Amino acid sequence: MELRILAAPREQQALLDLPWDMPLEQWPEWYLVALPRGISRHVVRFTRLGGNVYALKEIVKPYADREYQMLRDLARLDVPAVQAVGVVSGREAPGGESLDSVLVTRHLQFSLPYRALFARMMRRDTVDRLIDALVVLIARLHLTGFYWGDCSLSNTLFRRDAGAFAAYLVDAETGELHNGLSDGQRAHDLDTARTNIAGEMMDLLAAGQLDESVDPIGVSDQVVERYEALWTELTEWEAFDVNERWRIARRVDRLNELGFDVDELDIVTDIGGRTIRVQPKVVDPGHHSRRLLRLTGIDAQENQARRLLNDLDTYAAVTEQQGEDEEIVANAWVMDSYEPVLRAIPRDLRGKLEGPEIFHEVLEHRWYLSENLGRDIGLEEAARDYADTVLRHKPDELAILGGTSAEADTTQPFRITWSDLQ
């Protein structure tokens, strides 16, 4: 049997140095890094190669090849998912025993499995934000024609997003990509999500990691209710009188606020011309993050981008530059506001959160300080106080966790804001 590594050239060379003739669960600790990992029916380990961290999942070859291709297809569709790096097959132990293939994905920085987020008692509002993030992810997947087949919190990674969470698909093993999904396929995904999430919430409640006020069945039902509300907003026809054309713009604005761009509108009038029906074609989620990236070069989650753009607008008003070209104002804001805040954070603390998340939290901290002191606090002063009193005590979500991989195994009990749809 010949070892085969399917990967980009720059990753192939590094992957050659790993002990592929050993089952993953037997790898020596010096090959591994300790990161929180969720429940999986497969052996999963993390390793560092050339400054990057990779997730390794041991799985039979046909499924490894299929999931690798599925993740690459999702990447081309710009779906929030982990990045497929390669597949290692033809593995064989020294005694001649055949070993399963390994799917290699790039570890998503600053992301955590849901059980790591529940390491401390989880309040109801935090549960709601996780569910909101998962609902948005499911809707995005369904819009692209992706049937998940095993939707759950366990198969999702979460990143903080300006007080909310952004969700990423981490397991596409059962997924199917179609030109579009039937109502039955979407309903089956939701029914699977309802069942899986109810079980996951019950496990957390039994382990004392969930506030007793949280009803596991109610949370799982919430997924379906919120999904249906979002799906209606994204896809349903809306009818109104011909004199209420302003409602077309309002529908587009609501979708933009939810982070979705509208490519075109399907508009139909009745025979008498008194009633208009409108259905948007929603494309390219990430409305605010793309605008922020275009103006500033800052790559942020959707809610982070929304918050930063609001601060940019405030900056333009305070500096009396509302009539100035927005690219010029954005460049000035980066130099006068964003970069000074990040420079005010001590270097040893910068790995705790992403830059946009730090800026968002500094804005929040500045508001509280100003309220308590009865005077306006400057951004840099707020950033220094935030670093000393808040950030220093947060867990490090970028750096590799210390200890053995077993210590980081969170299988042991370890916004998009929905008011927009109310």
| 324-335: average pLDDT | 88
Region 166-170: mean pLDDT is 91
pLDDT number for residue 417: 36
Distance CA 422, CA 24 (A): 48
Please tell me the distance from the alpha carbon of residue 406 to that of residue 43, in angstroms, as a whole number.
12
Its sign, for the CA torsion 402, 403, 407, 408, is: positive
Of the listed ranges 238-247, 308-317, 324-333, the one predicted with least confidence:
238-247
Looking at the DSSP bridge assignments, the partners of residue 352 are none
Assigned CATH topology for domain 4-106: Phosphorylase Kinase; domain 1 (3.30.200)
Domain ranges of the chain: 4-106, 111-235, 286-398
Per-residue pLDDT at 19 exceeds 60: yes
Going by pLDDT thresholds of 50, 70 and 90, the confidence category of residue 282 is low
Least confident of 81-85, 332-336, 346-350: 346-350
In this prediction, residue 74 carries a pLDDT of 92
Specify the pLDDT at position 242. 65
Are both 4-106 and 111-235 of the same fold? no
Whole-angstrom distance, CA of residue 208 vs CA of residue 220: 18
Collapsing DSSP states into helix, strand and coil, what is residue 305?
A: helix
What number is the average pLDDT over the span 193-199? Answer: 93
Summarize the confidence of residues 2-29 as an average pLDDT.
Answer: 84
pLDDT of res. 415: 34
Query: Confidence class of residue 405 from pLDDT cuts 50, 70 and 90?
Result: very low
Sign of torsion over alpha carbons 411, 415, 416, 422: positive
Neighbours of 309 (CB within 10 A): 19
Per-residue pLDDT at 36 exceeds 50? yes
The pLDDT value given to residue 191: 95
> Residue 177 — pLDDT band, cuts 50, 70, 90?
very high
pLDDT band at 64 (very low <50, low <70, confident <90, very high): very high
pLDDT tens-place string over residues 65-92 = 999 999 999 998 888 899 999 999 999 8
pTM metric for this prediction: 0.70
Name the architecture of domain 111-235. Answer: Orthogonal Bundle (1.10)
Averaged pLDDT for residues 207-228: 86
Q: β-strand 83-89 against 4-7: which pairing, if any?
A: antiparallel
| pLDDT for residue 180 is more than 50 | yes
Cα–Cα distance, 80 to 140 (Å, whole number): 9
Which segment of 222-226, 255-259, 312-316, 381-385 scores lowest on mean pLDDT? 255-259
Longest dimension (CA), the chain: 81
How many percent of the chain have pLDDT more than 70?
A: 82
Of 62, 69, 28, 21, nearest to 45 by C-alpha is 28
- Higher per-residue pLDDT: 272 or 324: 324
> Torsions phi, psi of 213, nearest 5?
-75, -10
* Per-residue confidence (pLDDT) for residue 119, from 0 to 100: 65
